[in-house]
Structure 1
Amino acid sequence: MTTALERIALTTHALKVFPLPSAVLFPHAALPLHIFEPRYRALVRDALAGDKVMALAQLQPGWEGQYGERPPMQPMMCAGLIIWHEELQDGRYNILLQGVSRARLLEEVPGEHLYRQARVQLLPDGDYQGPEEERLRQAVFELAGRVPASFAENLLPVVARSQGGALADVVAAAVVPEPERRQELLCELDVRTRLVAVLDDVGELIARLSPVKPVGPLN
């Protein structure tokens, strides 16, 4: 059976790209998206008719006055698969995009489509094991005592089974809201450095939060 990474590797010569300044997708994490622009409705429609592969990218600073055109994209993006979709009556889509791999922009591919396509180099993480993994897990367990139970219950099982770069990515996807910081972490290819950086983010969040008071009797 073809893996998700192998499916995406077949598209690296012309990867469909959705530039979205307000969102950053990480490998191993899923992101819900509402697709309403005609050019990106066409992108999703074509992806669903084929391999379901697309990428999410950030735009270079200064894009605001050129958004309707083709402003330059930042070189690091995340390629993923559409794992769920809902087509609305007016042609809009709700989709869930599952990140699979970092991808470095090599060149944009001109074509007849309304949406953008690019030739990319996939950058999957190598294997990594180190003490930073356990330190990050322990920090997330501490954070779980300071956030709503529903949030912790969704995050903890994922953290328990993730390793290396995937661990850093799923934690960052859950706890880092700012697009600029998320993009910095997406650009970090060294797994150890990324784990340490996400650990710092979790530590800062813990410092700002008070422990959640228990509900009900203590015994």
Structure 2
Amino acid sequence: MTAQERVERAALSALKVFPLPSAVLFPHSIIPLHIFEPRYRAMVRDALAGDRVVALAQLEEGWEGSYDGRPPMVPLMCAGVIVWDEQVEDGRYNILLQGVTRIEMVSELATDKTYREVQAKVLTDLPYHGPEEERLRQAVFELAGRVPPNFAENLLPVSARATGGVLADVVAAAVIPEAERRQELLAELDVKRRLEAVLEDVGELIARLQPVRPSGPLN
């Protein structure tokens, strides 16, 4: 069963959710997580024993006073699969969660589990090809001349291969650190507008950085 199929099956029945205000996962990207709260250690343990599917969610504004409970979650989130795990001291986990697809929460399930589960619908991008793709690739190439080489070497091949919404997502995942902005881009379901928004963000980043080595066509 593919990762997409596993997420779709979980979304129809009971999809485990990890609310984490400081992090936003994008499809086709990987995020490292350290799991230390008992309820989410239980979530990871159950996920590893089953389909390995977990969604990462943001919380609605005003969550700070009720984090230990079940504060409202932002309905638009990203579901992924745990592609690597290790259990460390005190039953904590280090995991790598790979984003698979956007989902939209339909309802939260009433459960006796300590962690949260939802039913959701899977949101898939419509195919899109337009001039925004090449503009974003060119902007990424220019950015590569202003960042450390190891960062550029990871980003350039990925952005060269990706198209449409995937291109916007992988670039956003790599260059945008702020959780609020990442959530805005995750919630942008129109691929053309998402590409334009990421291109604007990359352009602003380029404007703030000085070249660290010559850029231009490679010989």
Q: What's the TM-score bracket when you normalise by the shorter of the two chains?
A: over 0.9
TM-score w.r.t. the length of structure 1 is 0.96
> C-alpha distance in 2, partners of 1:76/1:99?
14
Q: Which residue of 2 is the match for residue 45 of structure 1?
A: 45
Displacement of 1:45 in angstroms is: 0.3
Q: Which residue of 2 is the match for residue 217 of structure 1?
A: none
Q: Which residue of 2 is the match for residue 26 of structure 1?
A: 26
Letter in 2 for 1:7: R
Q: Which residue of 1 is the match for residue 183 of structure 2?
A: 183
1:8 aligns with 2:7: yes
> C-alpha distance in 1, partners of 2:2/2:93?
25
Q: Which residue of 2 is the match for residue 91 of structure 1?
A: 91
1:152 aligns with 2:152: yes
Q: Which residue of 2 is the match for residue 103 of structure 1?
A: 103
Residues 53-95 of structure 1: CA deviation (Å, up to 9, x unaligned): 0100000000000000000000100000000001113100000
1:118 aligns with 2:132: no
> C-alpha distance in 1, partners of 2:90/2:155?
35
Q: Which residue of 2 is the match for residue 193 of structure 1?
A: 193
> C-alpha distance in 2, partners of 1:158/1:36?
32
Letter in 2 for 1:6: E
> C-alpha distance in 2, partners of 1:142/1:136?
10
Identical counterparts, % of pairs: 70
Letter in 1 for 2:9: L
Letter in 2 for 1:107: S
Letter in 2 for 1:125: D
Residues 188-212 of structure 1: CA deviation (Å, up to 9, x unaligned): 0000000000000000000000000
Displaced runs of 4+ in structure 1, greater than 3 A?
A: none
Number of equivalenced pairs: 213
TM-score w.r.t. the length of structure 2 is 0.96
Displacement of 1:213 in angstroms is: 4.0
Letter in 2 for 1:121: K
Stretches of structure 1 that go unaligned for 5 or more consecutive residues are 215-219
Q: Which residue of 2 is the match for residue 78 of structure 1?
A: 78
Mean alpha-carbon deviation: is it higher for 121-130 or for 94-103? 121-130
User: RMSD of the TM alignment (CA)?
Assistant: 0.8
> C-alpha distance in 1, partners of 2:138/2:147?
15
Q: Residues 157-176 of structure 1: matches in 2 within 5 Å? A: 157-176=157-176
Stretches of structure 2 that go unaligned for 5 or more consecutive residues are 215-219
Please state whether the residue corresponding to 2:147 is helix, strand or coil: coil
> C-alpha distance in 1, partners of 2:36/2:170?
27
Letter in 1 for 2:91: G
